[in-house]
């Protein structure tokens, strides 16, 4: 059993993995590569062409067709045999083409791999293929980096990581280096960085503690790879139908044979009649019709970005009674946006016609903000909350770029997970101004207000949180001297509620599922 890395101190991790801040030496790297192997997780073996072809000809109904072909040849009905063979081949060809294309698409989708990792080895910083990482390596991470393995963080500088791939959580997690309790769940292990997640802010260093299938993501991949295929409802029904049809056909043919013998008909003649009856009873058109219908359904689903790997599985959706779905990136767009702004006298849900109070609150959110306002920055990885605040200000018609130029930032106290707020100080035409944004309980505690006002803001914050919004408070004050510590006597300017944007199609999809009885 592997140690619970999150509960160990940095010194204990160094000791356990026999490494140091300068990184591993060459001899140690080679021995660990032999011991642990490459840093990649298992993939389920994809079906080859022979396997896919074999699947098309091993169903009970197809076996009945093969028996009917042999029987037709025995009684000299070569034309019937040819028709049955053509139907079987056409059925197999249609099924093979559809499943082959689906397998290739699935293989392309599953070829997820992080190509490079930056490490420190023997005191030197190197860029190496991520496959070559071993436990004990010191990795260097920065904003925009995909985490190349499971890592115990040993240094963090304003570090935030998007772990939605692993946990489904929309908001980035602020990381630190202190040891945690043993029972901390994956989402609470803030001193760890996990394979495949994305660093959206800051820099960090960490020790690789798990690679490949030993990582959290690798364990999930292993479970998927070990999942066994089960027969679909259609396959079960076809198998039952085939055995029933075969039994009835054999019974009728045998009964006809003995009745003919009892009537004095020659054995050869009555045998031919019995076999002909059996062949005529086999519905050779059923299989090809079923295959064509399923192939059409498979193509319709593919056009809606649904990949069906097995042809017979296309019918399975008709038997679904319960749908389990992820939220982030599935029901939602995985993109944060301002859903609501509350000021002392106004509640705004539409930003295009925002009044002066709402615009003043949004301006603070845009100035007290590290997201880049340029169009090119939209393709880069800004912090999603910062991006949402900036987009909201732009939607409200605020010229953010000009405001940042006129109200130039002098200094700042950056946001941290422990601090839960960010402070910036700006030069304005009327003097220096301090802007603060952060968790309502922290920002409101810095504000000068009556108890009635404090109660009002706390109630508003609670109501917004109950609506599933992430709430930020914004405040300001005039202050000429340079801000160096916790500001006080601020004036609260409003509350901003942020949510993960619901996909436009989600409501309609849920309505359709309900109407279908799901």
Identify the CA nearest to 288 among candidates 498, 15, 40, 91.
91
Q: Quick check: is 500 catalytic?
A: no
| pLDDT (mean) for 93-115 | 67
Q: List the domain boundaries for the chain.
A: 5-43+113-225, 49-109+233-316, 330-502
For residue 331, the 8-state DSSP code is I
CA 148/CA 318 separation, integer angstroms: 40
Q: Left if phi > 0, otherwise alpha if psi is -120 to 50, otherwise beta: which for 454?
A: alpha
DSSP helix/strand/coil, 473: strand
Domains 5-43+113-225 and 330-502 fall in the same CATH topology: no
| pLDDT (mean) for 87-91 | 77
Question: With respect to CATH, is domain 330-502 assigned 3.40.1110.10?
Answer: yes
Structure tokens at 346: 């106004």
Please check whether residue 439 is in contact with residue 473, taking contact to mean a CB–CB distance below 8 angstroms.
yes
How confident is the prediction for the chain on average, in pLDDT?
A: 84
Predicted pLDDT at 129: 93
5-43+113-225: CATH class: mainly beta
Element (H, E) at 161: strand 150-162
Predicted pLDDT at 440: 96
| pLDDT (mean) for 402-420 | 88
Question: Tens digits of per-residue pLDDT, 307-331?
Answer: 676 666 777 777 788 888 877 777 8
Question: Tens digits of per-residue pLDDT, 359-379?
Answer: 999 999 999 998 887 654 444
Point out the catalytic residue in the list 137, 158, 326, 372.
326
């Amino acid at each position: 059993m592997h140690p619970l890395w999150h509960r160990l101190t940095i010194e204990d991790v160094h000791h356990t993995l026999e490494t140091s801040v300068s990184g591993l030496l060459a001899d140690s790297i080679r021995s660990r590569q032999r011991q642990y192997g490459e840093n990649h997780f298992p993939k389920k073996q994809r079906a080859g062409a022979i396997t896919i072809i074999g699947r098309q000809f091993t169903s009970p109904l197809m076996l009945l067709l093969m028996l009917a072909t042999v029987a037709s040849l025995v009684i000299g009905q070569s034309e019937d045999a040819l028709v049955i063979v053509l139907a079987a081949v056409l059925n197999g060809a249609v099924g093979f083409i559809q499943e082959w294309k689906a397998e290739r698409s699935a293989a392309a989708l599953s070829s997820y791999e992080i190509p490079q990792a930056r490490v420190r080895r023997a005191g030197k910083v190197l860029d190496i293929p991520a496959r070559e990482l071993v436990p004990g390596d010191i990795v260097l991470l920065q904003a925009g980096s995909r985490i190349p393995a499971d890592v115990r963080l040993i240094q963090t500088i304003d570090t935030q990581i998007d772990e939605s791939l692993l946990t489904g959580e929309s908001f980035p997690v602020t990381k630190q280096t202190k040891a945690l309790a043993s029972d901390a769940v994956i989402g609470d292990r803030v001193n760890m960085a996990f394979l495949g997640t994305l660093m959206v802010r800051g820099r960090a260093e960490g020790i690789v503690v798990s690679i490949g299938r030993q990582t959290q993501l690798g364990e999930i991949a292993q479970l998927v790879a070990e999942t066994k295929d089960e027969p679909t409802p259609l396959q079960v029904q076809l198998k039952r139908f085939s055995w029933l049809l075969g039994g009835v056909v054999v019974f009728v043919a045998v009964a006809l044979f003995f009745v003919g013998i009892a009537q004095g008909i020659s054995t050869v003649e009555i045998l031919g009649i019995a076999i002909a009856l059996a062949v005529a009873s086999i519905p050779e058109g059923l299989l090809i019709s079923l295959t064509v219908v399923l192939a059409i359904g498979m193509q319709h689903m593919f056009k809606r970005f649904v990949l069906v790997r097995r042809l017979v599985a296309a019918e399975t959706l008709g038997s679904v009674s319960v749908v389990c779905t992820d939220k982030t990136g599935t029901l939602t767009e995985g993109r944060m946006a301002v859903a609501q702004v509350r000021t002392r006298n106004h509640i705004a849900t539409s930003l295009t016609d925002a009044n002066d109070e709402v615009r003043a609150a949004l301006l603070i959110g845009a100035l007290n903000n590290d997201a880049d306002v340029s169009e090119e920055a939209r393709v880069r990885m800004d912090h999603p909350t910062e991006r949402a605040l900036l987009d909201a200000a732009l939607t409200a018609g605020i010229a953010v770029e000009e405001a940042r130029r006129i109200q130039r930032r002098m200094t700042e106290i950056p946001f941290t997970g422990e601090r839960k707020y960010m402070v910036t100080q700006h030069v304005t035409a009327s003097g220096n101004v301090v802007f603060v944004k952060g968790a309502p309980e922290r920002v409101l505690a810095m504000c000068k207000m009556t108890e009635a006002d404090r109660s009002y803001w706390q109630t508003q914050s609670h109501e917004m949180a109950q609506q599933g919004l992430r709430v930020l408070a914004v405040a300001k004050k005039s202050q000429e001297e340079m801000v160096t510590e916790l500001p006080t006597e601020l004036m609260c300017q409003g509350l901003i509620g942020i949510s993960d944007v619901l996909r436009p199609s989600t409501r309609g999809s849920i309505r359709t599922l309900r109407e279908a009885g799901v």
